[in-house]
Amino acid sequence: MSSFAEDLHAALAGPEHTISPKYFYDAQGSTLFEQICELPEYYPTRTELALLRRHAGDFADRMGPGAQLIEYGAGALVKVRLLLERATRPHSFVPVDISGPHLLAACEALQREHPSLRILPVVADFTRPHVLPDAPPDGRRIGFFPGSSIGNFDPKEALEFLRLLREELDGGALLIGVDLIKDPARLHAAYNDAQGVTARFNLNLLRHAQRALGLECDPAGFDHYAFYDPRKHRIEMHLLPRGEQHLQLQGRRYTLVPGESLHTENSYKYSVESFQALAREAGFRPSAHWTDEQRWFSLHWLEA
């Protein structure tokens, strides 16, 4: 049985009905996420892109020549282009992503722009042990984890994941994007956009399960629900059954009633200090950070 099926059975049967947000990202989910990144309310992407543009020279200096750039959750490869344009004779680029066809298409486009770049895509769930190509002979491994995807982990998982990266990047460094704690109203708007794209993205988890696993359910019977919990410093996304919802997965039947929401995502927010403390606990040495004037988003350089 695929891990998606196992995890969905566990979510439907369990008391919390929690499922990993990684299951948003089939081809359609990846496309919906790209649409989210363009939304006026969704500030993280454009704020981070501006920071990457503004400080690209600094990042290239810190990377050093002959580096192997590893991107975790590579998606459409938009942000990494800003690093690759400035990098000094990069040894290779290793994008890791769970959405295989989507990743390979993005790599083909990147290869056309950088004909001599060695691109070594790894189709994998980057949260699980994965095999990377060999480290470069004369440069460092530089991890790139933009977008505040670290926010999908709860603090304990984030610590474990950062420890894993620290080992993988030993002697190198990590450039990571982290969304900052801010006015709850602004956070709320970013996850409740007027066009309903985030709602479609959330509902795509059920559609993905219909397509990939033959899940029987009525996605139209669920509402998108996202809110900010200021005590936990996190956005929670849920799928809320409107009335009794009957689902069937591989012959097993489940019923969800209003109040039994499917919890599809957490997105944790940090302060610069709370994130640096977490990074230190994972064995990294924070050596620089950058934020926008509004202090909405941060980039951190962590030596491994």
Binding positions for ligand AVJ, rule: CB under 6 A: 36, 44, 147-149, 151-152, 191, 198, 201, 265, 267
In total, the chain counts a number of residues equal to 304
Edge-to-edge strand order for the sheet containing 234-241?
A: 222-229, 234-241, 262-268
Pick 152 or 245: Cβ nearer ligand AVJ: 152
Report how far Cα 229 is from the mean position of its chain's Cα atoms.
20
Question: What are the percentages of helix, strand and coil residues in the chain, rounded to 5?
Answer: 40, 25, 35
Tokens of residue 20, six digits? 């990993």
Pick 71 or 140: Cβ nearer ligand AVJ: 71
Rounded CA separation 189/186 (Å): 5
CB of 116 vs ligand AVJ, minimal distance in Å = 31
Pick 107 or 187: Cβ nearer ligand AVJ: 187
CB of 264 vs ligand AVJ, minimal distance in Å = 9
CB of 73 vs ligand AVJ, minimal distance in Å = 7
CB of 138 vs ligand AVJ, minimal distance in Å = 33
Pick 4 or 201: Cβ nearer ligand AVJ: 201
CB of 150 vs ligand AVJ, minimal distance in Å = 8
CB of 199 vs ligand AVJ, minimal distance in Å = 10
Pick 144 or 191: Cβ nearer ligand AVJ: 191
CB of 265 vs ligand AVJ, minimal distance in Å = 6
3-class state of residue 17 by DSSP: coil
- 235, 192 Cβ separation under 8 angstroms: no
CB of 127 vs ligand AVJ, minimal distance in Å = 12
**Across-strand partners of 302?**
174, 286
Axis crossing angle, helix 3-13 with helix 197-213, rounded to the nearest 10: 110
Cβ contacts of 128 within 8 Å, gap of 6 or more: none
Pick 68 or 198: Cβ nearer ligand AVJ: 198
Phi, psi at residue 246, to the nearest 5°?
-105, 130
For every residue of 119-180, DSSP letters joined together read B--EES-TTS--PPPPPPSSS-EEEEE-TTGGGGS-HHHHHHHHHHHHHHTTTSEEEEEEEB
Q: Which of 105, 179, 194, 187 is nearest to 147 (CA)?
A: 179
Pick 24 or 93: Cβ nearer ligand AVJ: 24
Q: Which of 300, 44, 229 is nearest to 147 (CA)?
A: 44
Phi, psi at residue 273, to the nearest 5°?
-70, -45
Pick 148 or 298: Cβ nearer ligand AVJ: 148
Pick 136 or 151: Cβ nearer ligand AVJ: 151
CB of 146 vs ligand AVJ, minimal distance in Å = 9
Q: Which residue is nearest to ligand AVJ (CB)?
A: 267
